[in-house]
Amino acid sequence: MSRGTDRSGADRPATVSASRRCPFRGVVMGASAGGLDALAGVLAELPATFSLPILVVQHRHASDCSDFARFFDGHSLLAVLEPCDKELIRGGHVYLAPANYHMLVERNGTISLSLEPLVHWSRPSIDVLFESAASAWGTDAIGVLLTGANADGAGGMRRIRAASGLTIAQEPATASSRTMPEAAIRAAAVDLVLPPAAIGRFLAGLRQKEGGP
């Protein structure tokens, strides 16, 4: 990897070598304020043949009954759904954390939903999802942190990077709220910094690890 410096002065890798582009087992994404548009921008770039599972935490109120899956379904060629507890993770699917539940990746290839206490005032929490992916997938995890107004996700990005997974943050200048991606960049937890559409195109060039998630 070659290294670059962002505008805050923190060192971070500017590129990822072709040899590190594969294989991976799955993608976890987190977003908060302004996240619907950013997530839609990423998903719109993924082809119907995209083979990795994507698990998404978008901060939402506990009582939120919005049909987020239907919204994203109109911006994605992949199947988009809210999972049930213990649901098997399948490639080519986008799983949205339900309101008021943490969502975790389990080592047996399933999703678990939890009512454990709020993290960063949030349930679902991005950190909870990212830390579980680091534990379950290790070096084969990809973490993507998008726009948001608090520091949720920075700790999870550090865990994924410590496990030698790949971490990507939204370019703060393109974010509705810069706080979340900037927190991860300041923590030296980010490999790539890209706008949403470019994140989608980068992911589209990846392939799934043999044996699936």
Rg of the chain in Å (alpha carbons): 15
Reply yes or no on whether 73 is catalytic.
no
Catalytic residue among 122, 152, 177, 191: 152
Reply yes or no on whether 59 is catalytic.
yes
Q: Residue 60 in contact with residue 21, Cβ under 8 Å?
A: no
Q: Residue 57 in contact with residue 126, Cβ under 8 Å?
A: yes
Helix (H) or strand (E) holding 199: helix 196-204
Torsion angle in degrees (nearest 10) through CA of 127, 128, 129, 132: 110
Q: Which two tokens stand for residue 207?
A: 């392939």
Catalytic residue among 32, 122, 132, 177: 32
Reply yes or no on whether 112 is catalytic.
no
Catalytic residue among 59, 93, 102, 120: 59
Residue given tokens 């991976």 in the structure block: 24
Residue 41's SS3 state is: helix
| Active centre residues (catalytic) | 32, 59, 152
